Amino acid sequence: MNLEPIFQNLVYGLFVGGLYGMAAVGLSLVFGVLKVLNVSHGELLMLGGYVSFTLFDAYGVDPFLSIAIAAPLLFLVGLGLHGGLFRWVMRLHEEAKIKNSLLIGFGLALVLENLALRVWTADERAITTGYSGEGVTLAGIVFPYTRMSGLVVAFMAVMLLHLFLTRTYAGRAIRATSEDWEAASLMGINVQRTYVVAFAIGTALAGVAGTLVSLGYTIAPSIGLAWTLKALVVVVLAGLGSIFGAFAAGILLGEAEATSIYVFGASYREVVGLVLFIIVLLLRPQGLFGRRVR
pLDDT at 157: 96
**pLDDT at residue number 125:** 92
The conformation of residue 136, written as its DSSP 8-state character, comes to E
In order along its 294 residues, the chain shows pLDDT tens digits of 567 888 888 899 999 999 999 999 999 999 989 988 899 999 999 999 999 999 999 999 999 999 999 999 999 999 999 999 999 898 888 888 889 999 999 999 999 999 999 999 999 998 989 888 888 988 888 999 999 999 999 999 999 999 999 999 999 999 999 888 889 998 899 999 999 999 999 999 999 999 999 998 999 999 999 999 999 999 989 987 678 889 999 999 999 988 887 777 777 777 887 888 888 888 888 888 876 554
Residue 287 contacts residue 240 (beta carbons within 8 Å): yes
- pLDDT given at position 294: 47
The distance from CA 222 to its chain's CA centroid, rounded to whole angstroms, is: 16
**pLDDT confidence of residue 218:** 92
Q: Return d(Cα 124, Cα 211) in angstroms, integer.
A: 15
* CA–CA gap between residue 85 and residue 250 (Å, rounded): 29
What pLDDT, on the 0 to 100 scale, is given for residue 242?
75
Of 79, 51, 38, 30, whose CA–CA distance to 202 is shortest?
30
Per-residue confidence (pLDDT) for residue 1, from 0 to 100 = 58
CATH level 2 (architecture), domain 4-283 = Orthogonal Bundle (1.10)
Q: Which helix (H) or strand (E) holds 268?
A: none
Q: At what angle do helices 94-120 and 224-238 cross, to 10 degrees?
A: 150
Q: Is 121 exposed, middle or buried (0-12, 13-18, 19+ CB in 10 A)?
A: exposed
Indicate whether this model's pTM tops 0.85. yes
Domain map of the chain by residue range? 4-283
